[in-house]
Amino acid sequence: MQKKIVTMKGITKEFSGVTVLNQVDFNIYEGRIMALLGENGAGKSTLMKILTGVYEKTAGEIYLNDQPAEFKNTKESQENGIAIIHQELNLIGDLSIGENIFLGREPVNKLGKIDWKRLYKESEKWISMLGLSENPKELVNNISVGKQQLVEIAKALSLDAKIIIMDEPTGALTISETEKLFSVIRKLKEQNHSMVYISHRLEEIFKICDDITVLRDGERIGEVPVSEVTEDKLIEMMVGRRLEEQYPKADSEIGEVIFEVKNLTNSFVQEASFTLRKGETLGIAGLMGSSRTELARTIYGIYKMDRGEIFIHGKKVHINSPRDAIKAGITYVSEDRKTNGIVLGMNVGENITLTSLKSICGRFGHVYKSKEEEVSQEYIKNLSIKTSGTKQLVKYLSGGNQQKVSIAKNLFAEPSILILDEPTRGVDVGAKKEIYNLINKFKKAGVSIIMISSEIPEILGMSDRVLVMHEGCISGILDTEQADQEGIMSLAVGKGV
Amino acid sequence: MKDVVQKNKPLIVLLILCIAMAFLSDSFFTWRNFLTVLRQTSINAVIATGMTFAILIGGIDLSVGSVLAICGAIAANLIASGVDMILTILITLFLGLAIGIVNGLLISKGRLQPFIATLGTMTLLRGCTLVYTQGKPIGTGGGADSLLFGKIGSGYIFALPVPVYIMIIVFIAAYYILKHLRMGRYIYALGSNEEATVYSGIKTDKVKIFVYGASGLLASLAGIIVTARLGSAQPNAGSGYELDAIAAVVLGGTSMSGGIGSIGGTAIGALIIGILNNALNLLQVPSYYQNVAKGAVILFAVLLDRKQKAAR
Amino acid sequence: MKDVVQKNKPLIVLLILCIAMAFLSDSFFTWRNFLTVLRQTSINAVIATGMTFAILIGGIDLSVGSVLAICGAIAANLIASGVDMILTILITLFLGLAIGIVNGLLISKGRLQPFIATLGTMTLLRGCTLVYTQGKPIGTGGGADSLLFGKIGSGYIFALPVPVYIMIIVFIAAYYILKHLRMGRYIYALGSNEEATVYSGIKTDKVKIFVYGASGLLASLAGIIVTARLGSAQPNAGSGYELDAIAAVVLGGTSMSGGIGSIGGTAIGALIIGILNNALNLLQVPSYYQNVAKGAVILFAVLLDRKQKAAR
Amino acid sequence: ASDDKEDTKATIGLIVSTLNNPFFVDLRDGAQAKADELGAELIVLDSQDDSATELSNMEDLITKGVDLILINPTDSEAVGSAVTAANDAGIPVITLDRSANTGDVVCHIASDNVAGGKLAGEFIIDKLGGKGKVVELEGVPGASAAIDRGKGFNEAIAKSDIEVVAKQTANFNRAEGLSVMENILQAQPEINAVFAHNDEMALGALEAIKASKRDIMVVGFDATDDAVKAVKAGEMAATVQQLPKEIGAAGVDAAMKVIAGEKVDKSIPVDLSLVTE
Ligand SMILES: Nc1ncnc2c1ncn2[C@@H]1O[C@H](COP(=O)(O)OP(=O)(O)OP(=O)(O)O)[C@@H](O)[C@H]1O
Ligand SMILES: Nc1ncnc2c1ncn2[C@@H]1O[C@H](COP(=O)(O)OP(=O)(O)OP(=O)(O)O)[C@@H](O)[C@H]1O
Ligand SMILES: O[C@@H]1[C@H](O)[C@H](O)CO[C@H]1O
Ligand SMILES: [Mg+2]
Ligand SMILES: [Mg+2]
């Protein structure tokens, strides 16, 4: 066996009386990559936050190189050679890329003045290593979520830590970015760095990890070398049962065209035109930064259109705000749930009913609480949202469960057109399947779906047609039958099929 | 259990204050003094209720004191010139509402930061009041309506002062809005996450206008009470009242960053401040020391109630 | 190009004001009046610099006026009792710094919301000033050191008033801190995203203590200037100054929610307010209308400078 | 337009400590009326009770180049710098209502607040027959009027058997006069008289006393219209009259004389009197 660089023993964590980690053991081996797997809410992020001093553990011991270690904050863990890339982005939007990478460790001259030249030169080095060509002086607010994710990774790498923890680093990355990241990870491994890798994408685990630790409901299920498991076995360990087919696409009846976009143009999107039929799923693929999100948000009334028309049932509609969109039967599940998908400070029930609160209100705006309880219970059940109840604050749910609340909230508005922007980002395999089943269910009920996704297998598995974007333009629309990974990729990079 | 204590910390401060006073002063625990405290609290309580709305959405309304002053002056003038009491009240409330709506428009459509927008209207309206009153108090005169109007400030109904009824009605209405109406839900949502609220199809502009409108309306109601009690409107009435109202709201456990808080808390906060003022007088604390005591109690109370989350 | 205009809107307001005044008053564009305006601006500018730090981290410091008062009183007393000028200044600045650090501790370690923490210390320190001065002004006496001390307020060096030098030095130091020192980066980071700043291993408590300490220090510096100018310290000195300082910061384009803003902006904001006060007097605007005008200008200036992002 | 003064017309600056108090509004009105009568231009600036603003006002008037400055100081100590600034610019200064401790002043026109406080004290001694319990409502802590009136009043009653049972600030403010008096009424079973440092507080206290249905004599200060009305109606016992209009008028009168090169007395007292029923 390899040398253990970190040993966590009997880690228990309670949040206001609720045990989320129970006697968990966890190891990190020198020069190896440990995968940490488990369903949403299994406790993966919490375990890593305990290791890096973000949370205090309730019980248990931590050893670094066989020495007892306990870090009171991120700074201490950094000083001891542990870097972490958190699941949720933690960048300062109003600072530049370079400033973010070196935040807290700015190079200074003898008088304490920041050495800007060096700072930007070094940043450039780190981001270009990850294939990011952005100017390091650019404000983080002005780059897309995917690029922000890369900046976050660059920041962790620049710490030059012995141990690097990556909590779902590829959530916002496309395939080529992910490949780039993997090559960096391999290089680091060759240099004897150790890593923890958390991801819900099992194929990634098989590609780069050496060992796997599986958590389920806060308990450690086991630790195995990658070479000794199959994907099915892993899934069974994670969810405690076998899962059937990955993409259960339902063949529903596809009806007439109910939605049409003509020549939609603004600062993000040029001359976008497409149609959507009743009961159809239209996948939208494209590289990071291809403005898929912006297209969706323009339709949803967040961004203004400079030109173009939108028709629903052949009738032209004017959408100037999300409210108009919802009224027209369109809802949007955001890719960025923390900032605009859900209200973290409100409870599960209140979030689910927010968009369509009117439907459970009396004439004078009185909210019927019993009705609210009833419908939110229903959604919690249907979407298997892991929560202690409707009154649980959403901020205390795990990332994947927050995503489900975000979807529930949009479903409650009973849309005829549902836009899903990266709906399974950060969602575990079991929950993913549930989301796919839900998509099918609504499809069958005649809802039309637009699904933006960076996972091409998911696009291929779930959509009837695939729309591919490249730099703000629609570079092609394919029937799924004719589409394959290569075809989509070549459209995405701007080459014709 | 721990949760119950956490939630009721403002109440604990209130109790400590009451118990201490029971030992320190004989006159404190009397029915009469109880009514006096309630009546004195009512003005701040009414303003603080509007302030609670503003703070819940992550905003603030610094203009309340000036709104109180201009509305009070106009009410006094109307009554003095023989306008019917009911009509006077309606006009005054309407004015307060209108000013509040202007604040709301500046903040929503004008996209101004609430602190600075209401700092602007606070300054502007104080100027208007000085111009309108020419720096002198306006009496309500001695007419029949004036006497009736005075009852709003000093009258009794079934042994309880009229302003206390007003305060209670305002509390109940605000509680109902926040707890049971859609608008209340939107107020909390807006205060917690504005962007998500917009994405949920809620007209946040309307919510903001409602909130500042309500705050203006309640400030004018407070102006009516003050003017009725004194039988005259002072040009510098209400200055500094915004700070008392904010203190009441925060002592009541509402977070200045929005989204968290309740009217019940504000009621307790207003009572703490009312009792504190009463206590300082009853205990004959020399004037120079009163500010010291007030500052210390505010700090003590909020330190006790500090949130888990770090503030900036 | 659009960006340049957007960034320089405060400057545009300032220019409009100056150009308008050039037409309206002969006495405005004179070297004398220029110096007068700068000297008058210096006190608010020094306070506003500290306030810029506080607002940049998303906080606020309401206690500046009271810090000014207590520090001024102590300085006056020291000078009057014959303490050496330099020593007096050092003691006073140290006191301001210490008070500021207490604010910082209440807010960081005590986890209090800055508005309420500094509202508490503002009230408390005003009380302390009254107790210390017994409500009476404290003169600096007539000694040699007193005359020298007075020069800090009214002296000239190479035809420029001393307070103007102080103001310029404060601006440059603050600019350098914000632009080129690590602490400056942490201030912006903290104001922009506190959680992420913590995750980056930055001791945010230290940043907060630095910021409020600086604000206290600068308020005491302003207290020294005021006391030196007047030759005496008033118990009510500085009340309301926090609002002028905040107005200067916000007029300068700094966002009340933190993370965005600059010292250059604050300098312009303070000048706008200084020139406005000067202009209203030169134009003989009747005093009641001055508040109206001031409120209107503040609103106009911020409406012009409103951010793209919606405010609550 | 420009701020040029017409050649013939005298321009007088008037800096008032605050204009949201009726007393000073009367002072201003008296000055304005006199200025209109004598054909002078009067520029009125408000210091908003802040000494630094006062100094700024002074500087701005110097910039404007007025012929003479009438100043009602926010505070006798702090006004020194402002007066000195005018001295340096060669502009004569006259103080109104409150004096200046430093700087050269052509003349000081005022009624004496200490004397006024005494007057009120003696009136109460007389009415209560030399003994009883009184409440003192104090003005803004630190304001010179509050300090002086309190001083005169307490000096006067020190010679009698009158006891001050409560002494609290109501900040010269009517609404606070009401609530502070209400609270004092709770604590004190026996009160014979109230002395308030100004009429605003006295009128507030009066409301509280009326509501309590107790029989307590109220004496105020300033003789504002409201207070005089209350005295005439038998609700208030008395108020010390300071004749602020006359202070203002006398100020302009003296100013014109100084501008014309005539000599004026160093100190011009304005009568104090007690307004009673
Ligand atoms: N600060 C907190 N307060 C209360 N409960 C919390 C807190 N943080 C996490 N939890 C709970 O702890 C459990 C584990 O959460 P954690 O974020 O570690 O899950 P995860 O395995 O990372 O899930 P995901 O794959 O969705 O990211 C969840 O049930 C979550 O609701
Ligand atoms: N706030 C902003 N200001 C300016 N440009 C922006 C902003 N947000 C995004 N952009 C630009 O818009 C373009 C598209 O954005 P984005 O990367 O989100 O598209 P996407 O196709 O949805 O990609 P992703 O897979 O990351 O969601 C990018 O070029 C990005 O830099
Ligand atoms: O003389 C005036 C008035 O009495 C006023 O009420 C308060 O300030 C004093 O100086
Ligand atoms: Mg996680
Ligand atoms: Mg996207």
- The more confidently predicted of residues B16 and D141 is B16
DSSP line for C236-255: TTTTTHHHHHHHHHHHTT--
Q: Residue window 41-70, chain A: list those with CB within 8 Å of chain C.
A: 54
Neighbours of C45 (CB within 10 A): 29
What's the pLDDT tens digit per position in C249-273?
A: 999 999 888 999 999 999 999 999 9
pLDDT at residue A213 in the model: 96
Are the C-beta atoms of residues C248 and C44 closer than 8 Å to each other? yes
When pLDDT is averaged across residues A146-165 and rounded to a whole number, the result is: 90
Strand residue runs (E) in D63-216: 68-71, 93-96, 107-110, 131-138, 161-169, 193-196
pLDDT band at A172 (very low <50, low <70, confident <90, very high): confident
Q: What pLDDT is stored for residue C182 in this prediction?
A: 95
Residue C61 is inside which H or E element, if any? none
Is the minimum CB–CB distance between A302 and chain B shorter than 8 Å?
Answer: yes
Q: Rounded distance, CA B224 to CA A309, Å?
A: 53
Structure tokens given for D113: 């607040």
> How would residue B5 be classed by pLDDT, with cut points 50, 70 and 90?
low
Contact C202 A75 (CB under 8 A): yes
Is residue B39 pLDDT above 70, yes or no? yes
Q: How far apart are CA B251 and CA B266, in angstroms?
A: 7
Q: Are D111 and D133 in contact (CB under 8 A)?
A: no
pLDDT at residue A242, rounded to an integer: 59
pLDDT score of B124 more than 90:
yes
Question: Buried (b) or exposed (e) across A366-375, using 16+ Cβ within 10 A?
Answer: ebeeeebbeb
Angle, CA D193 vertex, CA D189 and CA D196 arms, to 5°: 115
Ligand 3 site, residue D21, Cβ cutoff 6 A: yes
For ligand 3, whether the C-beta of D221 sits within 6 Å is: yes
pLDDT band at A241 (very low <50, low <70, confident <90, very high): low
Distance of CA D145 from the midpoint of ligand 3 (Å) = 6
- Longest CA–CA separation in chain B, Å: 59
pLDDT higher than 80, residue A185: yes
Question: What percentage of chain A exceeds 90 in pLDDT?
Answer: 62
Nearest to D172 by CA among D217, D193, D141, D148: D141
Distance from C-alpha of C108 to C-alpha of C211, rounded to nearest angstrom: 11
Residue C309 pLDDT > 70? no
CB-facing half-sphere around the CA of D191: CA atoms within 13 A: 29
Q: Going by C-beta distance under 8 Å and a sequence separation of 6 or more, which residues neighbour residue B286?
A: D167
Length of chain C: 312
Q: What is the DSSP letter of D131?
A: E
Q: Do B226 and D175 touch (CB under 8 A)?
A: yes
pLDDT at position A140, please?
92
CA A293 to ligand 2: nearest atom: 22
**Which of chain D's residues have a Cβ under 8 Å away from the Cβ of B236?**
20-21, 173
| Tokens 């927010």 -> residue | A354
Total domain count, chain C = 1
Between vectors from CA A106 to CA A104 and to CA A107, what angle results, nearest 5°? 150
Domain that holds residue C125: 38-238
C-beta atoms surrounding C147 within 10 Å: 15
User: Can you give the pLDDT at residue D33?
Assistant: 96
Q: How confident is the model at residue A425 (pLDDT cuts 50, 70, 90)?
A: confident
Residue owning tokens 């309401």: C62
Locate C290 and state its tokens: 């001055």
User: C21, C36, C225, C236: best mutation site toward chain D, by most D Cβ within 10 Å?
Assistant: C236
- Which residues 6+ apart lie within 8 Å of A462 measured at CB? A247, A249, A281, A283, A436, A439, A451
Ligand with an atom nearest the CA of residue A44: 1
For residue A221, give its domain range: 4-239
- Scored b (16 or more CB within 10 A) or e, D24-33 reads bbbbbbbbbe
For residues A185 and A291, state if they share a domain.
no
The amino acid occupying position B31 is W
pLDDT in tens, D175-203: 999 999 999 998 899 999 999 999 999 99
Buried b / exposed e across C224-259, counting CB within 10 Å, b at 16+? bbbbbbbbbbbbbbbbebbbbbbbbbbbbbbbbbbb
Q: Read off the pLDDT of residues D207-254 as tens digits, 9 standing for 90 and up.
A: 999 989 999 999 999 988 889 999 999 999 999 998 889 999 999 999
Q: Average the pLDDT over B117-138 and give the result.
A: 94
- Per-residue pLDDT for A243 more than 60? no
Q: Tell me, yes or no, whether A264 and A119 share the same domain.
A: no
Query: What ligand has the least distance to the C-alpha of A14?
Result: 1
Min mean pLDDT across B6-20, B124-138, B162-176, C43-57 is at: B6-20
Mean pLDDT of the D27-37 span? 95
Is pLDDT above 90 for A16? no
Judge whether C32 lies within some domain.
Answer: no
In whole angstroms, how far apart are CA B49 and each of A7, A229, C190? 54, 62, 31
B190: left (phi over 0), alpha (psi -120 to 50) or beta: alpha
Q: What distance in Å separates the CA atoms of residue C101 and residue B108, rounded to the nearest whole number?
A: 36
Output the domain CATH number for residue A444.
3.40.50.300
Q: Does residue A125 fall inside a structural domain?
A: yes
At A90, the amino acid letter reads N
Nearest-angstrom CA–CA distance, C282 and D2: 10
For chain D, what is the mean pLDDT? 91
Ligand 1 and A15: CB distance under 6 A: yes
Å from C270 to nearest chain D CA?
15
Distance separating the N- and C-terminal Cα atoms of chain C: 28
Report which bound ligand comes closest to the CA of C195.
1
| CB of D23 shorter than 6 A to ligand 3 | yes
Ligand 3 proximity of D51 Cβ (cutoff 6 Å): no
Instruction: Name A398's Cβ contacts closer than 8 Å, sequence gap at least 6.
Output: A40, A41, A42, A45, A386
Could you tell me the two tokens for C1?
A: 């190009």
Average pLDDT over residues B296-306: 84
- Please provide the size of chain A in residues: 497
More reliable by pLDDT, D225 or B309: D225
Q: Is the pLDDT of residue D3 over 50?
A: no
Question: For the residues D74-81, what does the mean pLDDT come to?
Answer: 85
Residue A269: pLDDT over 70: yes
Give the one of B111, B120, B299 whose C-beta lies nearest to C295's C-beta.
B120
Q: How many CB atoms lie within 10 A of CB B78?
A: 21
Q: Which residue of B has its CA nearest to A411?
A: B200
Question: How far, in Å, CA of A213 to CA of A222, rounded?
Answer: 6
Domain assignment present for residue A248? The answer is: no
- CA B172 from chain centre, in angstroms, equals 14
Q: How does residue B309 score in pLDDT terms, banded at 50, 70 and 90?
A: very low
Q: Give the contacts of A141 (CB within 8 A, at least 6 positions apart).
A: A93, A94
For residue B311, the model assigns a pLDDT of 34
Does residue C233 fall inside a structural domain?
yes
For residues A205 and A294, state if they share a domain. Answer: no
* Radius of gyration (C-alpha) of chain B in whole angstroms: 19
Q: Is residue A245 part of a domain?
A: no
Q: Indicate if A29 and A85 belong to the same structural domain.
A: yes
**Taking CA A88 as the corner, what is the angle to CA A83 and CA A93, rounded to the nearest 5 degrees?**
95
Whether residue B1 has pLDDT greater than 60? no
Kindly report the average pLDDT of chain A as a whole number: 90
pLDDT in tens, D105-146: 999 998 888 999 999 999 999 999 999 999 999 988 777 788
Q: What is the pLDDT of residue A237?
A: 87
Q: How far is C6 from chain B (nearest CA, A)?
A: 15
What is the per-residue pLDDT for A349? Answer: 96
Instruction: Please tell me whether residues A360 and A217 are part of one structural domain.
Output: no
D125: which 2 tokens? 């001694």
Span A379-393, mean pLDDT? 90
Counts of helices then strands in chain C (DSSP H, E): 14, 4
Per the CB < 8 A criterion, the answer to whether D101 and C139 are in contact is: yes
As a whole number of angstroms, the distance between CA B237 and CA C68 comes to 26
Chains that touch A (3 or more CB pairs under 8 A): B, C
What distance in Å separates the CA atoms of residue D116 and residue D122, rounded to the nearest whole number? Answer: 10
**DSSP letter assigned to residue A338:** I
Ligand 5 center from residue A251 Cα (angstroms): 27
B159–chain C Cβ distance below 8 A for any pair: no
Radius of gyration for chain C, computed over Cα atoms and rounded to the nearest angstrom: 19
Q: Is residue C56 part of a domain?
A: yes
Residue B304 lies in a domain: no
- Mutate which of B178, B181, B192, B199 to disrupt the A interface (most A C-beta within 10 Å)? B199
Partners of C161 in the β-ladder: C156
**Contact call for D and C: 3+ CB–CB distances under 8 Å:** yes
> Who's near B23: CB < 8 A, 6+ residues apart?
none
User: How many independent structural domains does chain A possess?
Assistant: 2
Please report residues of C whose CB lies closer than 8 A to that of A113. Answer: 180-181
> Smallest Cβ distance to B112: which of C57, C106, C302?
C302
Q: Per-residue pLDDT averaged across C204-229, rounded?
A: 97
Predicted confidence band of residue C3 (pLDDT cuts 50, 70, 90): low
- CB-CB contact of A42 with A218 (8 Å): yes
Position C264 in a domain: no
pLDDT above 90 for C141: no
Chain B residue with minimum CA distance to C118 = B299
Least reliable range by pLDDT among A384-388, B50-54, B78-82: A384-388
Is B217 a domain residue?
Answer: yes
Q: Annotate C28-43 with three-state secondary structure.
A: CCCHHHHHHHHHHHHH
Residue A323 half-sphere exposure toward CB, CA atoms < 13 A: 11
The answer, yes or no, to whether residue C6 has pLDDT greater than 80, is no
Q: Is residue C273 part of a domain?
A: no
Closest CA to A165 of A118, A124, A123, A198: A198
